[in-house]
Copies of this chain bind each other. A is one copy, B any other.
Amino acid sequence: MEQEFTSQVLESAVTELSRLPGVGRKTALRLALHLLRRDEREVTALGESLIRLRRDICYCRQCHNISENDTCAICASPMRDHRTVCVVENVKDVMSIENTGQYNGVYHVLGGLISPIDGIGPDSLEIASLVERIAAGGVDEVILALSSTMEGDTTNFYIFRRLSAYPDLKLTQLARGMSVGNEIEYTDEVTLGRSLLNRVPFADSFKS
Protein backbone atom coordinates (compact mmCIF):
# COMPACT_ATOMS: atom_id res chain seq x y z
CA MET A 1 0.00 0.00 0.00
CA GLU A 2 1.33 3.42 -0.90
CA GLN A 3 1.08 5.97 1.85
CA GLU A 4 0.13 9.46 0.85
CA PHE A 5 1.55 12.33 2.81
CA THR A 6 -0.09 15.62 3.57
CA SER A 7 3.12 17.40 2.60
CA GLN A 8 4.15 17.55 -1.05
CA VAL A 9 7.75 18.29 -0.08
CA LEU A 10 7.90 15.16 2.08
CA GLU A 11 6.19 13.13 -0.64
CA SER A 12 8.78 14.17 -3.20
CA ALA A 13 11.74 13.47 -0.88
CA VAL A 14 10.36 10.00 -0.07
CA THR A 15 9.75 9.22 -3.75
CA GLU A 16 13.28 10.25 -4.70
CA LEU A 17 14.89 8.35 -1.80
CA SER A 18 12.92 5.19 -2.61
CA ARG A 19 14.57 5.07 -6.05
CA LEU A 20 17.83 4.11 -4.29
CA PRO A 21 18.68 0.39 -4.44
CA GLY A 22 17.42 -1.51 -1.40
CA VAL A 23 15.35 1.44 -0.16
CA GLY A 24 11.59 0.93 -0.09
CA ARG A 25 9.01 3.59 0.81
CA LYS A 26 9.13 2.65 4.51
CA THR A 27 12.90 3.08 4.71
CA ALA A 28 12.69 6.23 2.60
CA LEU A 29 10.19 7.71 5.06
CA ARG A 30 12.42 6.75 7.99
CA LEU A 31 15.38 8.46 6.30
CA ALA A 32 13.34 11.56 5.47
CA LEU A 33 12.07 11.91 9.05
CA HIS A 34 15.63 11.44 10.28
CA LEU A 35 16.84 14.23 8.00
CA LEU A 36 14.07 16.51 9.26
CA ARG A 37 15.55 16.25 12.73
CA ARG A 38 19.10 17.03 11.60
CA ASP A 39 20.79 20.38 11.29
CA GLU A 40 19.84 22.23 8.10
CA ARG A 41 23.53 22.66 7.18
CA GLU A 42 24.13 18.91 7.39
CA VAL A 43 21.19 18.07 5.13
CA THR A 44 22.21 20.72 2.60
CA ALA A 45 25.74 19.26 2.60
CA LEU A 46 24.30 15.81 1.81
CA GLY A 47 22.08 17.11 -1.01
CA GLU A 48 24.86 19.16 -2.56
CA SER A 49 27.44 16.38 -2.32
CA LEU A 50 25.12 14.07 -4.30
CA ILE A 51 24.50 16.71 -6.98
CA ARG A 52 28.26 17.38 -7.22
CA LEU A 53 29.02 13.65 -7.31
CA ARG A 54 27.01 13.04 -10.47
CA ARG A 55 27.96 16.36 -12.09
CA ASP A 56 31.71 16.41 -11.46
CA ILE A 57 32.76 12.79 -11.74
CA CYS A 58 33.68 11.41 -15.13
CA TYR A 59 35.70 8.41 -16.24
CA CYS A 60 39.43 8.28 -16.91
CA ARG A 61 40.09 8.16 -20.68
CA GLN A 62 42.94 5.73 -20.14
CA CYS A 63 41.77 3.21 -17.52
CA HIS A 64 38.01 4.01 -17.21
CA ASN A 65 38.27 4.39 -13.45
CA ILE A 66 36.19 7.23 -11.96
CA SER A 67 38.00 10.52 -11.98
CA GLU A 68 37.47 14.24 -11.66
CA ASN A 69 39.58 14.89 -14.76
CA ASP A 70 40.18 13.33 -18.16
CA THR A 71 42.97 11.29 -16.63
CA CYS A 72 42.60 9.79 -13.15
CA ALA A 73 45.04 10.36 -10.28
CA ILE A 74 46.52 6.85 -10.66
CA CYS A 75 47.14 7.12 -14.41
CA ALA A 76 48.54 10.64 -13.96
CA SER A 77 50.94 9.65 -11.18
CA PRO A 78 54.63 9.37 -12.08
CA MET A 79 55.11 7.24 -8.95
CA ARG A 80 53.13 4.32 -10.39
CA ASP A 81 54.51 1.55 -12.57
CA HIS A 82 52.84 2.15 -15.94
CA ARG A 83 54.31 -1.05 -17.41
CA THR A 84 51.98 -3.21 -15.28
CA VAL A 85 48.23 -3.09 -15.95
CA CYS A 86 45.74 -4.75 -13.61
CA VAL A 87 42.43 -5.63 -15.30
CA VAL A 88 39.43 -5.39 -12.95
CA GLU A 89 35.67 -5.64 -13.29
CA ASN A 90 34.66 -2.32 -11.73
CA VAL A 91 35.59 0.77 -9.76
CA LYS A 92 35.04 -0.96 -6.42
CA ASP A 93 37.66 -3.57 -7.27
CA VAL A 94 40.19 -0.79 -7.91
CA MET A 95 39.51 0.43 -4.36
CA SER A 96 39.81 -3.08 -2.92
CA ILE A 97 43.18 -3.60 -4.57
CA GLU A 98 44.40 -0.11 -3.63
CA ASN A 99 43.48 -0.88 -0.03
CA THR A 100 45.75 -3.94 0.05
CA GLY A 101 48.70 -1.55 -0.34
CA GLN A 102 50.38 -4.32 -2.38
CA TYR A 103 50.01 -2.90 -5.86
CA ASN A 104 51.85 -0.06 -7.52
CA GLY A 105 50.88 -0.50 -11.17
CA VAL A 106 47.98 1.01 -13.09
CA TYR A 107 44.49 -0.33 -13.86
CA HIS A 108 42.07 -1.09 -16.63
CA VAL A 109 38.39 -1.15 -15.60
CA LEU A 110 36.26 -3.37 -17.83
CA GLY A 111 32.90 -2.12 -16.57
CA GLY A 112 31.53 -5.65 -16.08
CA LEU A 113 32.15 -9.27 -17.04
CA ILE A 114 31.10 -11.26 -20.10
CA SER A 115 27.72 -12.80 -19.28
CA PRO A 116 25.68 -14.02 -22.27
CA ILE A 117 22.70 -14.72 -19.99
CA ASP A 118 22.54 -11.00 -19.10
CA GLY A 119 23.21 -9.98 -22.68
CA ILE A 120 26.70 -8.67 -21.87
CA GLY A 121 29.14 -9.53 -24.65
CA PRO A 122 32.77 -8.44 -25.10
CA ASP A 123 31.61 -5.36 -27.04
CA SER A 124 29.72 -4.01 -24.02
CA LEU A 125 32.98 -3.95 -22.06
CA GLU A 126 36.22 -2.00 -22.30
CA ILE A 127 38.08 -4.91 -23.90
CA ALA A 128 38.80 -3.33 -27.28
CA SER A 129 40.37 -0.35 -25.52
CA LEU A 130 42.52 -2.74 -23.46
CA VAL A 131 43.80 -4.42 -26.63
CA GLU A 132 44.55 -0.99 -28.14
CA ARG A 133 46.43 -0.02 -24.99
CA ILE A 134 48.59 -3.15 -25.26
CA ALA A 135 49.06 -2.68 -29.02
CA ALA A 136 50.35 0.87 -28.38
CA GLY A 137 53.23 -0.72 -26.43
CA GLY A 138 54.86 0.18 -23.14
CA VAL A 139 53.16 -2.56 -21.12
CA ASP A 140 55.11 -5.57 -19.83
CA GLU A 141 52.52 -7.37 -17.75
CA VAL A 142 48.73 -7.64 -17.64
CA ILE A 143 47.29 -9.02 -14.38
CA LEU A 144 43.80 -10.46 -14.73
CA ALA A 145 42.17 -9.67 -11.38
CA LEU A 146 38.62 -10.85 -12.04
CA SER A 147 36.23 -12.72 -9.76
CA SER A 148 36.61 -16.47 -9.50
CA THR A 149 33.20 -17.11 -11.09
CA MET A 150 31.97 -18.51 -14.38
CA GLU A 151 31.70 -14.98 -15.80
CA GLY A 152 35.15 -14.08 -14.51
CA ASP A 153 36.69 -17.22 -16.04
CA THR A 154 34.93 -16.60 -19.37
CA THR A 155 36.21 -13.03 -19.46
CA ASN A 156 39.71 -14.13 -18.46
CA PHE A 157 39.77 -16.65 -21.30
CA TYR A 158 38.41 -14.18 -23.85
CA ILE A 159 41.08 -11.60 -22.92
CA PHE A 160 43.76 -14.30 -22.93
CA ARG A 161 42.75 -15.18 -26.53
CA ARG A 162 42.71 -11.54 -27.65
CA LEU A 163 46.11 -10.83 -26.10
CA SER A 164 47.80 -14.01 -27.35
CA ALA A 165 48.80 -11.94 -30.39
CA TYR A 166 51.42 -10.30 -28.15
CA PRO A 167 53.77 -13.15 -27.20
CA ASP A 168 56.16 -10.86 -25.29
CA LEU A 169 53.39 -9.76 -22.92
CA LYS A 170 53.39 -11.44 -19.51
CA LEU A 171 49.80 -12.41 -18.69
CA THR A 172 49.07 -13.41 -15.08
CA GLN A 173 46.01 -13.93 -12.94
CA LEU A 174 45.32 -13.70 -9.21
CA ALA A 175 46.35 -16.78 -7.20
CA ARG A 176 43.44 -18.96 -6.14
CA GLY A 177 43.66 -20.92 -2.96
CA MET A 178 42.72 -20.99 0.69
CA SER A 179 41.66 -17.69 2.23
CA VAL A 180 44.15 -16.43 4.80
CA GLY A 181 42.85 -17.46 8.22
CA ASN A 182 40.69 -20.32 6.88
CA GLU A 183 40.84 -23.86 8.21
CA ILE A 184 41.39 -26.79 5.85
CA GLU A 185 38.32 -28.54 7.22
CA TYR A 186 36.08 -25.70 6.07
CA THR A 187 37.70 -25.02 2.69
CA ASP A 188 35.65 -26.34 -0.26
CA GLU A 189 37.18 -29.18 -2.27
CA VAL A 190 37.64 -27.29 -5.51
CA THR A 191 39.54 -24.50 -3.78
CA LEU A 192 41.60 -27.00 -1.76
CA GLY A 193 42.43 -28.90 -4.96
CA ARG A 194 43.50 -25.67 -6.64
CA SER A 195 45.65 -24.77 -3.61
CA LEU A 196 47.42 -28.12 -3.88
CA LEU A 197 48.05 -27.84 -7.62
CA ASN A 198 49.33 -24.27 -7.29
CA ARG A 199 51.44 -24.89 -4.20
CA VAL A 200 54.40 -22.54 -3.85
CA PRO A 201 57.89 -23.06 -2.39
CA PHE A 202 57.65 -22.54 1.36
CA ALA A 203 60.32 -19.83 1.37
CA ASP A 204 58.24 -17.78 -1.15
CA SER A 205 55.45 -17.34 1.37
CA PHE A 206 57.65 -14.92 3.31
CA LYS A 207 57.97 -12.57 0.36
CA SER A 208 55.85 -9.47 0.90
Contact surface of A with B, Cβ cutoff 8 Å: 1, 3, 5-10, 12-13, 15-17, 19-22, 27, 29-36, 38, 40, 42-57, 65-68, 72-74, 90-92, 95, 98-99
Q: How many copies does the complex hold?
A: 2
Whether the pair B56, A1 counts as a contact (CB closer than 8 A) is: no
Q: Give me the 10 closest cross-chain CB pairs, A-B, nearest first.
A: A43-B54, A47-B51, A13-B53, A47-B47, A47-B50, A16-B46, A16-B49, A6-B73, A13-B49, A12-B49
Query: Is A54's CB under 8 angstroms from B68's CB?
Result: no
A2 to chain B, nearest CB (A): 10
Closest CB in chain B relative to A28 CB, distance in Å: 11
Give the Cβ gap from A107 to chain B, nearest Cβ, in Å: 11
The answer to whether A44 touches B49, judged by C-beta atoms less than 8 angstroms apart, is no
Question: Are B10 and A21 within 8 A (Cβ)?
Answer: no
Residues of B contacting A53 in the complex (Cβ-Cβ under 8 angstroms): 9-10, 12-13, 32, 35-36, 43
Q: Which residues of B contact A98 (CB under 8 A)?
A: 6
